A and B are shown apart, each in its own frame.
Chain A
Amino acid sequence: MVNLEVKLKDLILKNPVMTASGTFGYGEEFEDFIDISQLGGILVKGTTRHHREGNPYPRMAETPSGMLNAVGLQNKGVEYFCDNIYPRINHYNTNILVNVSGSVIEDYVETAAMINELDKIPAIELNISCPNVKEGGMAFGTSCASAASVVREVRKVYKKHLMVKLSPNVTDITEIAKAVEEEGADSVSLINTLLGMAIDSETRKPLLSTVTGGLSGPCVKPVALRMVWQVFNAVNIPIVGLGGIMNAKDAIEFILAGASAIQIGTANFIDPQITVKVVEGIKEYMIRHQVENVTDLIGAIKTQ
């Protein structure tokens, strides 16, 4: 028997496989394809204080081994989530985490405070790294001072597990990770999308309505893996690794680089059953390598 359970401080996951926010809807979209209770956790769509329409179409451009998106946090706001969506999904036998985003600090604080009251939500993922909103979002996650200030204020009202999602669009991600750890973050998740763009050479027009967007998919995996490893060597809080994970082998690589858990994002669009396949693949790897506890693999990369 292999033991897949991992702990992110007080947050217990039955296995290290979670879903990345914005790629898994509210879980309901995947009910036809998988048994959601088989996952370590799900991250529901980025939620903001108020309703957001998101950016105009076109919001997506395919790239070699990946895609750019500029959805722009389309959601109906935290009150709608609490009143309408939460009652529909709170029976899921897995950890449901809400990704919380905002334009100003007060929005983050108010949203986090409302989510704090929901019994079946044991954690939030603070999104200080969305590249697709005009104000806030990534701006908070690209300087130590602003990242620290938003985490500090949210920490005052949010009493459960506080995960902070980091942006890769920075010179040194370890500095940001250390800053949010200092302010009381319980874990960090990384990476959010890389800022990119795409142009149609025939029409000379950008392919996204916003010109720039967030790059995801296997093309970003080496960057994400490097950042997880750097952050693992810089902080003491658990790390949730994500960025281009397409299969169990990729997931194991993130765990070896230092991630205690992983999130699967863009791959959900290609194979809606990928998450449960990764859980099985991790088990198979552990049996093959005679690893009893998946926690024995965390940061177990052999650099010597």
Chain B
Amino acid sequence: MKKLVQDFEVLHKEELNDGTFVIDVKASAPLPDIKPGQFVNVLVENAANTFLRRPLSIHFVDYEKNIIKLYIKKIGEGTTKLGELLLGDKLNIVFPLGNQYSIPKNSKTLLIGGGCGVAPLLYLAKHLKDAGNEVTTILGVRSAYDAVELDPYKQYGRIFVTTEDGSIGEKGYPTQHSVLNEKFDYTFTCGPEPMMKAVATYSKSKNIPCEVSLENTMACGFGACLCCVTDTKRGNICTCTEGPVFNINELKW
């Protein structure tokens, strides 16, 4: 798939809570085919300490409107600057990058997202449903305040929430949710590494395939710098080109 570098226009911005927002960016040319799990690398301008691009999961793609949705949590200067973008502003983006989640057919799929790691799961949920799968999503967050943007998942399947303080949904971590007692054929996860490792352990115990999306610090995003490597059974490989999605059997987890 050909990689592109293009100026996008900020078309819409929605604050989900104090630290999290979704921006819709419109491409200047018709979007190429974008797969669930792929990411973009965006240029943050006018931020003195943000030298490198910021890799961000693709949250959703709307081909009719020619937009990509990015789900962003303000963590440092770069993401905070992105939160200050105004409608009409330009955003320079290198895309589409990385591999993709596998899309099985007619299976029971379980998606587990933690915090802003939920970002790629909405687009994945759509593709899974389109392929005839049953989709169950669990979002793990700290408290009700962070349980944002649940409705969009409902059109693709069931959505459950776990909170650390029990303020909404089941109390605990997503890997402790009661729905895990059901039988699933595949798990897909993105979020903090301890959570993904717990999902991997669960999947291994049930003997079902599990794919995780890793988030390593990277410079280029397309395999040139060799900075974002993951230590796999095949040695050090680039997370940006051979990932970000890995089957857990490839990893040394």
Contact = CB atoms under 8 A, between A and B. Distances in A.
A133 to B, nearest CB: 14
Most A CB atoms within 10 A — which of B5, B217, B224, B231? Answer: B224
Most B CB atoms within 10 A — which of A71, A269, A273? Answer: A269
B178 interface: no
Contacts, number: 89
A212 to B, nearest CB: 15
Interface in B198-253: 216-220, 222-231, 235-236
B222 A272 contact: yes
Majority SS of interface residues in chain A? loop
A32 B53 CA distance: 18
Given A268-B220, A272-B94, A59 B4 contact: no
Majority SS of interface residues in chain B? loop
Interface of B: 2-5, 43, 48-53, 94, 216-220, 222-231, 235-236
Interface stretch (A23-31, A162-170, A225-233, A248-256): A23-31
A74 interface: yes
Interface string A73-94: 0100000000000000000000
Most B CB atoms within 10 A — which of A69, A74, A272? Answer: A272
A285 interface: no
Contacts of B4: 32
A268 B226 CA distance: 13
A266 to B, nearest CB: 8
**How large, as a class, is the contact surface on chain A?**
20 to 34
A50 to B, nearest CB: 14
Contacts of B53: 269-270
B43 to A, nearest CB: 7
Nearest to B92: A271
Nearest to B216: A57
B218 A60 contact: yes
Nearest to A64: B49
A62 B229 contact: no
B76 to A, nearest CB: 9
Given A62-B52, A272-B5, A29 B229 contact: no
22 contacts: A25-B223, A29-B222, A53-B236, A54-B236, A58-B217, A59-B229, A60-B225, A62-B49, A62-B217, A65-B48, A66-B51, A67-B52, A67-B219, A69-B225, A71-B225, A71-B226, A71-B227, A269-B219, A269-B224, A270-B51, A272-B220, A272-B222
